[in-house]
Homo-oligomer: A and B are copies of this chain.
Amino acid sequence: MPIMTYIQAISDGMREEMRRDPKVMVMGEDVGVYGGAFKVTKGFIDEFGADRVYDTPLSESAIMGCGLGMAITGLRPIVEFQFADFITSGFNQVVNNAGTMFFRTGNNVSAPVTIRCPSGAGVHGGPFHSQSPEAWFVHTPGLKVVAPSTPYDAKGLMISAIRDNNPVLYFEHKFLYRRVKEEVPEGLFTVPIGKAEVKMAGDDISVIAYGASVHLALDAAERLAEEGISVEVLDLRSLYPFDKEAIVETVKKTGRVLVAHEAWLTGGVGGEYASFIAEECFEMLDAPIKRLGSRDMPFPFAPQLEDKMVLNSETVYRALKDLAQY
């Protein structure tokens, strides 16, 4: 099995599915000749041609709107926002147009669009190239939201997202692009939307995380293992729909939970999962549910500031330690 980085796995998932299904296409700014700002679609235009690897004008609302229009004619577009932060410029098309299409047409028209959102901090992008805005979309009906943390999941979820007959927001984390790699099968396989995965089994505390935060949790869990504390790391992978059974299971096992994400703490999806646990797992809890996120402020540019604003593994470590000692 070949070793792939996270970003290679994303490319590979798209490429394989495009080979299988001629209806699948990519569109966005600079996705063609340039191969995408992060080179995710490098070489695609040579293999699939300019109509399936569609370089667009700089207009997020039209990109999303046209993608939706292509979808209702039977194509399966993968729409790329160059950075997740720019989804705000096409926001209405995502939430009100794509999100309601199936419902409002009396289930007559579906909108199979995959929406790529390169998100996340740690790359000195400043306030507008570092955001993790997934919570806005988890709150909006009609949209599915996934956020892989590993190359395997990245590829498998990409293929699932493309095959799904609904708009799926695919939050890929820029910090992970070239920093994580693993063996990933060649060819086609899927990771189901809506299923979480235990990335590290443990008995004392559960961390529920996704995307880059999974790696923070794994780092912290390794440190704690040395101190004799056994942490279970549950990677949600899908933010909506999310895997309620898997959450209940891990909480039942450990009785202590931390929910952690890089997105802003207040109003973040962590609140959803934490309050789901508070409601459904009340009797299982041995300690208060702890939530972590980045500080409620724009992502600062200078590394010294960003470091103190973005969730990091030290903070996760300390929160877990507190929980263990509760």
Contact = CB atoms under 8 A, between A and B. Distances in A.
Interface of A: 85, 88-89, 91-92, 95-96, 99-100, 103-104, 127-128, 135-136, 138-142, 240, 259, 263-264, 266-272, 274-275, 277-280, 282, 285, 287-291, 296-298
A287 B92 CA distance: 39
A287 B297 contact: no
Contact of A100 (B271, B280, B288, B298): B298
A267 B298 contact: no
A268 B140 CA distance: 9
Copies of this chain present: 2
Nearest to A142: B298
A100 B127 contact: yes
A95 B84 CA distance: 14
A288 B296 contact: no
A139 B128 contact: no
A302 to B, nearest CB: 11
Given A136-B136, A138-B266, A280-B288, A104 B275 contact: no
A298 B136 contact: no
25 contacts: A85-B96, A88-B95, A89-B92, A91-B91, A96-B127, A103-B127, A103-B298, A104-B127, A104-B298, A135-B135, A135-B267, A139-B266, A139-B267, A139-B268, A140-B264, A240-B267, A266-B272, A267-B269, A267-B272, A271-B274, A274-B278, A274-B279, A275-B289, A275-B291, A278-B289
A282 B287 contact: yes
A137 to B, nearest CB: 8
A296 B141 CA distance: 5
Contacts of A259: 275
Across chains A and B, which 8 residue pairs bring their CB atoms closest together, nearest first?
A139-B267, A271-B271, A274-B275, A282-B288, A278-B278, A88-B92, A91-B91, A138-B267
A291 B139 CA distance: 14
Given A100-B298, A267-B272, 7 more contacts: A91-B91, A91-B92, A99-B298, A138-B266, A140-B267, A141-B298, A274-B279
B278 A96 contact: no
Contacts of A268: 139
Contacts of A271: 267, 271-272, 274-275
